[in-house]
Chains A and B, each alone.
Chain A
């Protein structure tokens, strides 16, 4: 593609129809060793790639998904699909992550339910799904698995690793665990450690699942799933992704399906029906056990732990260039948390850029503020991609 075309907005497009692939990365002879001390085998990873790896394998970008995401970050699985991948607005020809220039990789996280080994996978010891016998995993464990994936794909050093929310935690973890394998990291709407407020919200979501009579200690795969609990967890999650302002704009006090108050407890306000709809829909695409494991991984995430200071911990990332993006109305992972990490890096003499975008969308802004993010990410990658390491 010519330079002018890649700069031209009319060249923006879709990566088209894509397919997920699966790769076995660990087996009984070579199990995955987890932070908890447990081992896990086999481990398969579901992933997608877009664009082409260049001859020097220098244009690879790893995208990390958030709590409920998956490997399907861009394009469509079939021509008639209603919804494209979860970050399709940012990944594609001429987009922020321009697939004409970069080789983009996205993988489902360890513990997930979208093809990568997780609690619904078959436990080789019992021949049944793991359920709660699945070992607790951490963000670091997820990244360990991703590292082996990119090794197998022939990528020694990523141009960047980027993700929003929990994806940003993975991007940060990459920078300190494998600094030699990342030229840059772009954590978006994220944090270097989960705050007590986030842990509290995760806990309520987990309790909703654990207390659902259908949960049955996680061995529900042969019967009814704990959908009431999972949908309640998702409803709580959705509230944390929005903001006071975005709820005013999106719903106001509007009623749905009714012209006047019903004086009962049926969902009638637009915000109620929205939460019910999304809670219900989530149970059709997500596994309750995965929800427990992934939120637990987030709770444990704290890059300062085990180090005398955050700065000492982040100093491990020397040589990596950072771009932090936060959003003004995000109260789940507020800007101040991003700024703390960026300050610690800067005071260690590490190259770091911090941008706080004005947005009313709350935490969801990382999926919605496409225009500003495209500008920032293309500017960052444009310079980085033009300078040889």
Chain B
């Protein structure tokens, strides 16, 4: 009688960032996903890792999709969204491919560390050699697989590189527990060691915890 719960699209099952996160997150933990979109990652975490998840999302259409999947989601902006969250009330707080969209990235990273025991942050590397080359040769803002927008229509207002992020973490006494690098979101290998990572990695995913 009831409508079937919408399944997670095939292409998302093989996403590198999703696969890393599914491996990282311990079963039964509590997860907060900032900018959870249609809830694909949270649904996977719930169904495969028995994770109790919450999402934050701004877009009404996507919120409806989360609700269809039975997920709990808060309609708010990440930039002022964590104020009302208790200290250390989640095991993991995830910010997946969303950092460059936030207005106050440093505040968001600090808030994540306050609310969660561990933070997971994944983003596209603006210092990847293809991006560098594009800017060098064409003299225009790079448009690529990792940064698929023209400068005038991009939602990304804070582009960053791996080195930039390392500096931000050090500055805020956030310890990097693990780093993962990959070339593509939806295919290809993931590696935890990469020489010249800031030059060669298109994406990175960090596992962070406040330094003791």
Which of chain A's residues have a CB closer than 8 A to the CB of B5? Answer: 383, 386
Cα distance, A169 to B85, chains bound together (Å)? 24
Q: Are A323 and B67 in contact (CB under 8 A)?
A: yes
Q: Are A379 and B74 in contact (CB under 8 A)?
A: no
Q: Are B68 and A354 in contact (CB under 8 A)?
A: no
- CB B81 to nearest CB in A, in angstroms, measures 10
Q: Are A347 and B86 in contact (CB under 8 A)?
A: yes
Q: Are A375 and B64 in contact (CB under 8 A)?
A: yes
Nearest neighbor of A354 in chain B, beta-carbon distance? B74
State the total of A-B contacts with C-beta under 8 angstroms.
69
Which of chain A's residues have a CB closer than 8 A to the CB of B60? Answer: 355, 357-358, 372
Q: Are B3 and A353 in contact (CB under 8 A)?
A: no
Which of chain A's residues have a CB closer than 8 A to the CB of B63? Answer: 353, 355, 376
- CB B4 to nearest CB in A, in angstroms, measures 7
A31 at the interface (CB under 8 A from B): no
Using C-beta atoms within 8 Å of the partner chain, give the interface range for chain B.
20 to 34
Taken residue by residue from 1 to 31, chain B's Cβ proximity to chain A (1 for < 8 Å, 0 otherwise) reads as 1111100000000000000000000000010
Query: Given A339-B84, A375-B64, A376-B64, does the pair A3, B70 have CB atoms closer than 8 Å?
Result: no
Query: Given A7-B3, A382-B2, A386-B4, does the pair A354, B75 have CB atoms closer than 8 Å?
Result: yes
Query: Given A3-B1, A101-B1, A101-B2, does the pair A353, B67 have CB atoms closer than 8 Å?
Result: yes
Query: Given A347-B85, A347-B89, does the pair A376, B67 have CB atoms closer than 8 Å?
Result: yes
B73 at the interface (CB under 8 A from A): yes
Nearest neighbor of B75 in chain A, beta-carbon distance? A355
Cα distance, A353 to B72, chains bound together (Å)? 5
Nearest neighbor of A383 in chain B, beta-carbon distance? B70
Cα distance, A101 to B1, chains bound together (Å)? 8
Which of chain A's residues have a CB closer than 8 A to the CB of B69? Answer: 383
Complex partner residue of A383 from B67, B84, B86, B89, CB under 8 angstroms = B67
B180 at the interface (CB under 8 A from A): no
Cα distance, A343 to B52, chains bound together (Å)? 16
B182 at the interface (CB under 8 A from A): no
- CB A58 to nearest CB in B, in angstroms, measures 11
- CB B47 to nearest CB in A, in angstroms, measures 12
Q: Are A353 and B68 in contact (CB under 8 A)?
A: no
- CB A347 to nearest CB in B, in angstroms, measures 5
- CB B37 to nearest CB in A, in angstroms, measures 15
8 cross-chain pairs, A with B, having the tightest CB-CB distances, nearest first: A386-B2, A383-B70, A379-B67, A379-B68, A343-B84, A382-B3, A355-B75, A385-B2
Q: Which residues of B line the A interface, CB within 8 A?
A: 1-5, 30, 52, 54, 60, 63-76, 84-86, 89
Q: Which residues of A line the B interface, CB within 8 A?
A: 3, 6-7, 101, 321, 323, 339, 342-343, 346-347, 349, 351-358, 372, 375-376, 379-380, 382-387
A sample of 18 more A-B contacts (CB under 8 A), given A101-B1, A346-B74, A376-B67, is A3-B4, A6-B3, A342-B74, A343-B84, A346-B54, A347-B89, A349-B52, A351-B72, A353-B73, A353-B74, A354-B73, A354-B76, A356-B75, A357-B60, A380-B67, A382-B68, A383-B5, A383-B70
